[in-house]
Amino acid sequence: MRMMAILAAVVGGVMAWAMAGCGGGDAGSAGTQAAGTVKIGFIVKQPEEPWFQREWRFADETGAKQGFTVIHEQGQDGEKVSSAIQNLATEGAKGFVICAPDVKLGPAILAQAKTYGMKVIAVDDQLVGPKGEPLAGVPYLGIEAKKIGELVGKTLWEQMQARGWTAADTALCAVTYEELPTAKDRTDGAIDALVAAGLPQGRVFKAPISRSDQEQANTATTNLLTQHPGVKHWLICGMNDSVVMGAVRAMEAKGLKAGDVVGVGINGDKVAIDELKRPGETGFFGSVLLSARQHGSDTVEMMYKWIKEGTEPKMDTRTSGVVINRANYQQVLKEQGVE
Ligand code: FCA
């Protein structure tokens, strides 16, 4: 009986979900190809973010090399994701890679994909089931979030030591987004590494946000600064470059000097690179450069083999990152073939 009720709720939810998508999508196809060519969708939660544009670019390149078409779709919210999936079905796509706007949409996304016989791979943000567990049957490629966060923490600690700052004068502003597991793992990693190195837990202050967004990070940090006016030097961590940049800008606006702020982002995307290129002082120290190439390229390649040869992708793939700063970013970007 209980099972039936759950089933009815799920089916009802899926129908409402699919109906919400009747408006159609806004595809940006990567060129016209011969009939019979495999088409793969690539849905991203924040198309305006440089990280996702990089992923798209590498996915396109791999498609062009291997002879399949990548269709870009925007999925900023549940309705848009649903429209995107419907649009992909109309275009004849056999599967899609997705970074969803909310990982809890996982079951609805999978159910809708199944109605069209499409395969799903999650990238960056792992889709979850009803209890927050990784969604079964959906391969995932993401970052080693905890380790990358630890690398941020280690870098912040090194900078704190290099500047001779004491724990009494210094605090960590951790811009947290704890509803998203990959974001929580990143900031937890940074906090753990700093505390393990010697920063007292009492010097860790969280500025919570509810989406990866520079504006939100800016507001949350401004509020935090108001609560802790006595802190002389700030360390900053967050889930990515945009978020850390939002915090850095909030500190600048409060009149903190660049020399009293060390922010380390994650992604190594345009937001970070533009800041590293800027002449003069800024509190944005560096970033952990991730491999957008692996994320964009490997996911579509895995999908292509899955569709074409029936080769099931590895269920869980994690990628690593390297620290970039003003001194090494040009060299590292060149080595990695970015920009
Ligand atoms: C998340 C973030 C992106 C990037 C990616 C690997 O989706 O929103 O900025 O860090 O993970």
Helix (H, G, I), strand (E, B) or coil at 255: coil
Expressed in angstroms and rounded, the spacing between residue 124 Cα and the centre of ligand 1 is 6
Contact present, 44 and 81 (Cβ < 8 Å)? no
* pLDDT tens per residue across all 339 residues of the chain: 343 343 344 444 444 444 443 333 333 444 444 557 999 999 999 999 999 999 999 999 999 999 999 999 999 999 999 999 999 999 999 999 999 999 999 999 999 999 999 999 999 999 999 999 999 999 999 999 999 999 999 999 999 999 999 999 999 999 999 999 999 999 999 999 999 999 999 999 999 999 999 999 999 999 999 999 999 999 999 999 999 999 999 999 999 999 999 999 999 999 999 999 998 789 999 999 999 999 999 999 999 999 999 999 999 999 999 999 999 999 999 988 876
Expressed in angstroms and rounded, the spacing between residue 48 Cα and the centre of ligand 1 is 12
Expressed in angstroms and rounded, the spacing between residue 279 Cα and the centre of ligand 1 is 27
Q: Would you give the end-to-end CA distance of the chain in angstroms?
A: 58
Closest Cα to atom 5, ligand 1: which residue? 124
Q: Is 123 in the pocket of ligand 1 (CB under 6 A)?
A: no
Q: Is 209 in the pocket of ligand 1 (CB under 6 A)?
A: no
**For residue 211, what are the CA distances in angstroms to 62, 215, 233, 270, 308?**
30, 10, 26, 19, 36
pTM across the whole model: 0.90
Contact present, 72 and 27 (Cβ < 8 Å)? yes
Which residue among 55, 99, 151, 214 has the greatest number of ligand 1 atoms within 8 angstroms of its CB, and so is best to mutate? 99
Q: Is 240 in the pocket of ligand 1 (CB under 6 A)?
A: yes
Closest Cα to atom 7, ligand 1: which residue? 124
Residue at token pair 């890679």: 97
